[in-house]
Structure 1
Amino acid sequence: MPSRLLPCSLLAVILATAGCDSAADGEGPAPGADLTCDTGDLMIRTELFFGLDRFDEPPVTQEEWQEFVDTEVTPRFRDGLTQFDIDGQYLASTGELIREDSRLIMLLHDGGQAASDSIEAIREAYKRRFNQESVLRIDEPVCVDF
């Protein structure tokens, strides 16, 4: 996301992660440790939000987006993923309401370190490739039955 998004992005991350326990820091239970599934298996659902606007350049095109998914996301999550076209908006620090076309990728995984590392690599690759400041990540335990 462009630099004007940083304060709003940080606020969104803080709000999205408020009250979350982290197993990585050794404090508290793993995400979803207190969730029991009546059907299916406990997994982690990660949602990644990618803004398409860029400073001094046109927005990320559909072709650029698909090439990114094909080269950065699919190799790391071969079992599958879901992607959505979404409309985002936020209130900039100037008081201006900003609307931005965005993409959301939803991943289901075991919550292990390898999956988390892959997700972080995807976020960093997008920020680097498309001159973005952030990619919002939301993790949530879910019960999954195929």
Structure 2
Amino acid sequence: MPSRSLACPLLAVILATAGCDSAADDAGPAPGAGVTCDSGDRMIRTELFFGMDRFEEPSVTPEEWQAFVDTVVTPRFKEGLTQFDVDGQYLASTDELIREDSRLIMLLHDGGQAAHDSIEAIREEYKMRFDQESVLRIDEAVCIDF
């Protein structure tokens, strides 16, 4: 599968969130509130970006990644998911450009609390298991039709 750079999604996040309140402010509307679909159903698409590099150990292996997907992600999203290999890069606080192999998982869900809690559990488990600082999460309302 062709690689996809993280630069465009990261730029999109920066532009899309300029002037937004903190994500911790739960008083605001849910993602996509007020979005109507001419065709299909309204759902939330969540993209999760997982870096493969670790601080003190070799990178996450393909076998470790697949075991994580099989035991942590799939049980929470049995209806399905899509995963991509992506090439990421970011500017470290030292002004060094860091390039990193990454994985992207795309999930479609109803945007409810159970889905939110499942996604947060996935992010926390990955950070703990693979010594990561963060897992980027992007939520967007979409219209889907099968």
Q: With the length of structure 1 as denominator, give the TM-score of the two structures.
A: 0.84
Moved runs in structure 1, 4+ residues, more than 6 A? none
- Number of positions where the alignment pairs a residue of Structure 1 with one of Structure 2: 133
Counterpart for residue 27 of structure 2: 26
- Please report how far the alpha carbon of residue 92 of structure 1 lies from its aligned counterpart in structure 2 after TM superposition: 1.5
Distance (whole Å) between structure 1 residues aligned to residue 66 and residue 97 of structure 2: 28
Counterpart for residue 6 of structure 1: none
1:29-72 C-alpha deviation (Å, 9 max, x unpaired): 32212211111100000000000000121000000000000000
- Please report how far the alpha carbon of residue 21 of structure 1 lies from its aligned counterpart in structure 2 after TM superposition: 9.1
Q: Give me the CA root mean square deviation.
A: 2.1
Counterpart for residue 87 of structure 2: 87
Following superposition of structure 1 onto structure 2, how do residues 52-131 of structure 1 map, counting pairs within 5 Å?
Answer: 52-131=52-131
Any gaps of 5 or more consecutive residues in structure 1? 1-10
Any gaps of 5 or more consecutive residues in structure 2? 1-9
The answer to whether the Cα contact below 8 Å between 1:88 and 1:100 also exists between their aligned partners in 2 is yes
Distance (whole Å) between structure 1 residues aligned to residue 27 and residue 96 of structure 2: 41
Q: With the length of structure 2 as denominator, give the TM-score of the two structures.
A: 0.84
1:2-27 C-alpha deviation (Å, 9 max, x unpaired): xxxxxxxxx98x836443797x8233
The answer to whether the Cα contact below 8 Å between 1:43 and 1:111 also exists between their aligned partners in 2 is yes
